[in-house]
Structures are given as structure tokens and as C-alpha cells.
Amino acid sequence: MRVAIRRTVLTASAVSFALLATACGGGESSDEGRQTKGGAGSEKPAAKALSADKLEKLVVTKDDLKDHEVKKPGKDEAFEPGSVSVEKAECKPVAQALSALPARAPKATAQRLVVHKSKAAEKGMPSTEELGEMTEKQAEEATIDSLDITKTLTSLWSYDADGAEQALATLRKAGKTCAGGFTMTADGEKQQVTKISQEKVSAGEDAVAWTIGTKQDGSAADTKVVVFRQGTTLAGFSSFNIASVTRGEDYKQPTALIDAQAAKLG
């Protein structure tokens, strides 16, 4: 298996292996979300979800992130609601977050695909002439270095009342219950979640962060998953790094992206 953005990952991994073969062979501030006292009563009305239009204004843009590409994901780069299933119902919230889908149905959503390339990746694949001057090992490493690209599906999900808190609590509970792994199916493709390792993250009013190990057809990979809450909104991040997937190495959370999104949500 590859990682969270399944369709993109499968395509990217196929490209990477093809290239290797070639190289070696040759608190909210808006009135909409603020709680206020109503009338003569002392009770505060339930907080309301932010609208889809509001979320579109709050989701990160290229202007918020230096050296990042930001766009709306295409049909082959994100999952549709209902496309993910699990053998253990209690593990579905984790499978949803892994696939950049909300643990509970929100009132409104916004999503972006954020791409960050290392300097080596920005240079692109070594030329045939450059590869010809390298040893097989050097060519392999140079090729993988050119694929040092972190892709993150960044999502905003907004809820009425305490829906965001409840969704995050559901997600946290599922992470603990299913830490030993489970089987899931995404778009008809079965894969095994082998581990859910807790990580630290500092963002929003509350948050969960994991490295989720997965395996499909004998191929293993790790996905970084972070979800934090700010008021009635959850921000979710599901990330993978193509070079790290190929090497089987760990990589860092997309902290610049998470910080930028947290700043916009206030």
C-alpha cells in the first residue's frame, strides 16, 4: 500500500519506481462563530458552524505559505465520502482521517492539496548525461532525492454546537482503541493499518497527531495525520513524502503548513 491520498500515492509511487528502473538501468474572531448572550436570558446560544464560503476564505492559500504549491485537489487526488470502509467499526474514524475525510459529518468543508518540494526535488530528475557519470548507487539516490516531495491534503470541517469537540473526541478514542492496527478498504482497495503511533503537536485548542503505518501488496508506508480544533472548526492534515515512502524512512510533520492554517483560524 502507499499512504493517505491513495490515488495520488499509487500514481506517484509507480512513477518513482519507473524512474529508479530507468536510472539504475541507464478562538474564532468572526460574529458567525462567536457565542453571545441572548436576550434577557443568561444562557449562551449554541455555537454555529462556519459556512462553506467562510471556510474557503480561511483555508490556506499560496500567499500563506512560502515555497509551497496550493490547489484544490482533483478527483483522483482525494476520496469521496462513503468510499472508505473498515472491518472494525470502532476504527472507522482513524480510516477517515487517514484518507482526509472527517470522523463525523460536518456542516461545511473546504479542502486543498498542499505540495512542498525540497531543493533537490525542485531541480527535478537528473539528466541522462548526469546519470551516466554516476555509479548505480549514486544514480538511485539522486533519483529518489528528486522525489523528495511532501503532499498534504489539508481539510477544514465546521460543526454546530459542540460537534467539533465530539468529532475530535471520537477520533482520539478510535486512535487508542485501534492502535494495534486494523483492515480498511478505500475505493475497493484493501489495506492494512499496522500501527498508530502518537506524536506531539501544538496547534489550536485541542489536537491529535499520529504516524500511521500502512501496508498494501507487501509495500509499507507511513502517513502523518494531524487534526486540531479551533472553535467549531476542525483542521485535518494527511501527509506523505514520496522519497521517504520509497526509502522506508521517517519524515517530519508539515509544521509550516499546520502553523499557517492555525494562524488563519485564529
Query: pLDDT for 131-145, tens place per residue?
Result: 888 898 988 898 999
The backbone region for 248, taken as left when phi is positive above 0, alpha when psi lies in -120 to 50, beta otherwise, is: left
pLDDT value of position 123: 87
The sign of the CA dihedral 185, 186, 188, 191 is: negative
CATH of domain 6-26+51-265: 3.40.1000.70
pLDDT value of position 75: 87
**Where do the domains of the chain lie?**
6-26+51-265
Within the chain, residue ranges assigned H as helices are 6-25, 52-58, 92-98, 119-123, 128-132, 136-145, 163-177, 242-247, 255-265
Residue owning grid cell 508506508: 221
Angle at 205 between CA 234 and CA 254, to 5 degrees: 65
**How is residue 115 written as a grid cell?**
505540495
Non-local (6+) Cβ contacts of 76 within 8 A are: 7, 8, 11
| Secondary structure (3-state) at 204 | coil
Give 10-residue mean pLDDT values along the chain (266 residues): 40 42 41 38 76 98 95 92 94 97 96 95 88 89 92 98 97 96 93 95 95 92 96 97 89 95 96
> Tens digits of per-residue pLDDT, 51-73?
999 999 999 999 999 899 999 99
Alpha-carbon distance of 92 to 85, in angstroms, equals 7
pLDDT value of position 11: 37
* Inter-residue contact 215 to 223 (CB < 8 Å): no
Other C-beta atoms closer than 10 Å to the C-beta of 31 total: 8
Angle at 105 between CA 153 and CA 258, to 5 degrees: 30
Please count the CA atoms within 13 angstroms of the CA of 231 that sit on its side-chain side.
23
From the list 113, 96, 247, the residue with the least C-alpha distance to 175 is 96
Q: What mean pLDDT, rounded, does the chain reach?
A: 86
Cα end-to-end span (Å), the chain: 36
pLDDT value of position 43: 65
Instruction: Provide the whole-model pTM.
Output: 0.82
Residue owning grid cell 473498515: 86
